[in-house]
Structure 1
Amino acid sequence: MKIGLVQMTSGEDMGANLTSTRNALRAAAAGGAGFVLTPEVTNLLSSSRRTQEAQISHEEDCAFLHEIREEARALGIWVLLGSLAVKTHDPDGRFANRSFLISPLGQITARYDKIHMFDVEINAQESYRESAHYRPGEQAVLAETDFARIGMTICYDIRFPHLYRQLAQNGAEILTVPAAFSPVTGAAHWETLLRARAIETGCFVLAPAQCGQNTEKRATFGHSLVVAPWGEILADGGKKPGVTLVDIHLNEVKRARARVPSLTHDRKYEGP
């Protein structure tokens, strides 16, 4: 099947981000893609609480989500909205970083809230506290479609290999990793982490990414990647916004796992 990875520069104007997303979905569908994926926080990338509060909605009131569901239905394609920032009813007011899988009928068939929060200090000038604005999810999600089983993850999750192993051992053939990696961590780790997860699980890894200067204070790495189950990079989206189209063949999953069946070789051990 042909998949499309959307690479974009989401900023602080949700309306502009919606227009960019809609145009990218149409371009991917015109290129023959039946499954199109967008990056993390497709709808709004901002560290300003005022901006977030003014534009982010609860899922049931989210016009961005409604519009993309309608677009998926009109185009007759599967869409993974890599994630949207959505309001929750939590008393502390934190948002959810939520991924949506949307069918060609425009129906939401699966949701996943990012489990691992990006709370790090990269260097003296660059630190992040995602948990200050977003609450962590508590449920791993394996989605069923008519073409594959999909393990849904988001960005920083990629650094927790046990999650991906469990998804694969429970039937995942495709792992989705929508992301907004920083330029520093992207250059150092992005490709290595994605290839490692593909090799360890024998899955296709589909990783649509944010790119460029998203806000005055925030830039992202880009380089949306498609990685095959044997670890080969099938496509790299580079540094600029665009749509990357790739044909994938799911029989490669069985082939890779037959060659190195490590998913079935777990052993119990003692220690440390």
Structure 2
Amino acid sequence: MPRIASAQYDIGFLETWDNFAAKTRQWVKQAADNQAEILLFPEYACMELASLFSKEVYSSLSGQLEALQSLLPKYLELFKSLAMEHRVYIQAGTYPVKHGTGEFRNHAYFFTPQGDFDYQEKLTMTRFENEHWHISRGLDIKVFDTIFGKVAINICYDSEFPHYARQQAERGASLILVPSCTDTEAGYYRVRIGCQARALENQCYVVQASLVGNADWSEAVDVNCGAAAIYTPVDRGFPNNGILSIGEYNKVQWVYADLDLAAVDTVRREGQVFNYRDWPKQFDCR
């Protein structure tokens, strides 16, 4: 029964790499000291790294994306080393990465205690990402192997589209991680409702992390709000409202929960309803 920690992570103006590394180490250590074995950070938490560059760079939507590429190797090495040091799985939020085609895609990296890592790309872009920031959609839907079973990632807006989570559930995922970044209360609730719907449909755990706090200096993530939470199936053996744990709105904190992943198999097999099993039947209607 792994313990998961989901972050309500505060974006800051850090100015130096050492400040970012120290902050990240402190967050990871706190969760690990509280026996968390899976850690989830929010989407675009890395954008505070833009503060390491000049105002001309961090004030430019395109400029900060280009500049961040120089820090990607150090970013990956930092999270890789922390996952190994603390023997935890870390979903480090997301990082916009430039591909050989010249386009940027939003990567959610997943690090293992063994020092391996892979990533899920964001598959559907918001209007801001598409029209203003010019970040492109990814193409591949993945699941990741852990000692606890298969884990999947829906990046923020992706959680609002059921076919992504469904494919991951059919590939064996019993836990879906949702790093999110929302700048309005309505945006937060859209993702939250999407997370709860995916947990209901697939009878699995869905965990949301939220970026919080204001960064007036940033053109990309100037306003951030939300709450981290662990959502469950709505059935016997789980909370009646489908909420195992949820943080205080906009507070900087870790939110913890112990996950009974074996109960996912049980509820899919013996639940009051069979949302997961009955999904294919919905396509028989004429």
TM-score normalised according to structure 1 size: 0.86
- Residue deviations 1:69-93, cap 9 Å, x none? 11111111111112122222223xx
Structure 1, residues 76-133: CA drift from partner, whole Å, max 9, x if none? Answer: 1111112122222223xx322101111112221x3111001011xxxxxxxx234643
Q: Distance in 2 between matches of 1:44 and 1:19?
A: 16
Aligned to 1:101: 110
Higher fraction of helix: 2
Asked whether 1:194 is paired with 2:205, we answer no
Contact 1:87 1:95 in 2 (8 A): yes
CA distance in 1, matches of 2:149, 2:201: 18
Q: Which runs of 5+ in 2 are unaligned?
A: 49-57, 235-240
- C-alpha separation in 2, matches of 1:23 and 1:52: 26
Report the counterpart of residue 113 of structure 1 in structure 2: 121
The ranges of structure 1 where at least 4 consecutive aligned residues each deviate by more than 6 angstroms after the TM superposition are none
CA deviations over 1:205-248 (Å, ceiling 9, x no partner): 01111012134462112201111222521121221222122111
Quote the Cα distance in structure 2 between the aligned partners of 1:100 and 1:55.
15
Q: SS where residue 135 of structure 2 aligns?
A: coil
State the SS of the aligned residue for 1:220: coil
1:52 aligns with one of 49, 54, 65: 65
Say if 1:243 and 1:3 are closer, same or farther in 2 by CA, change over 3 A.
same
- Matched letter for residue 51 of structure 1: Q
Distance 1:84 1:12, change over 3 A: farther
Deviation at 1:186, TM superposition (A): 3.4
Which residue of structure 2 aligns with residue 145 of structure 1?
A: 146
Residues 128-170 of structure 1 show CA distances to partners (whole Å, capped at 9, x for unaligned) of: 2346431211000111111121122100001111111221122
Q: Are 2:15 and 1:6 equivalent residues in the alignment?
A: no
Q: How does 1:162-173 map to 2 (within 5 A)?
A: 162-173=163-174
Q: Tell me if the contact between 1:2 and 1:247 (Cα under 8 Å) persists in the aligned partners.
A: yes
Q: Using structure 2 for the length normalisation, give the TM-score.
A: 0.82
Q: What's the CA shift for 1:34?
A: 0.9
Does residue 1:84 correspond to 2:87, yes or no?
no
Match of 2:205 in 1: 204
1:226 aligned residue: 230
Deviation larger for 230-239 or 143-152: 230-239
Match in the other structure for 2:263: 252
Change (3 A) 1:75 1:203: same
Asked if 1:28 corresponds to 2:53, the answer is no
Instruction: Provide the alpha-carbon RMSD of the alignment.
Output: 2.2
Tell me how far apart the structure 1 counterparts of residues 13 and 104 of structure 2 sit (CA, whole Å). 16
Which has the larger displacement, 151-160 or 81-90? 81-90
Deviation of 1:63 after TM superposition, in Å, equals 0.7
- Indicate how the Cα distance of structure 1 residues 17 and 42 shifts in structure 2: closer, same or farther if over 3 A, else same: farther
Seq. identity, %: 24
Consecutive unaligned residues in structure 1, runs of 5 or more: 120-127
* Conserved? CA contact 1:17–1:42, under 8 Å: no
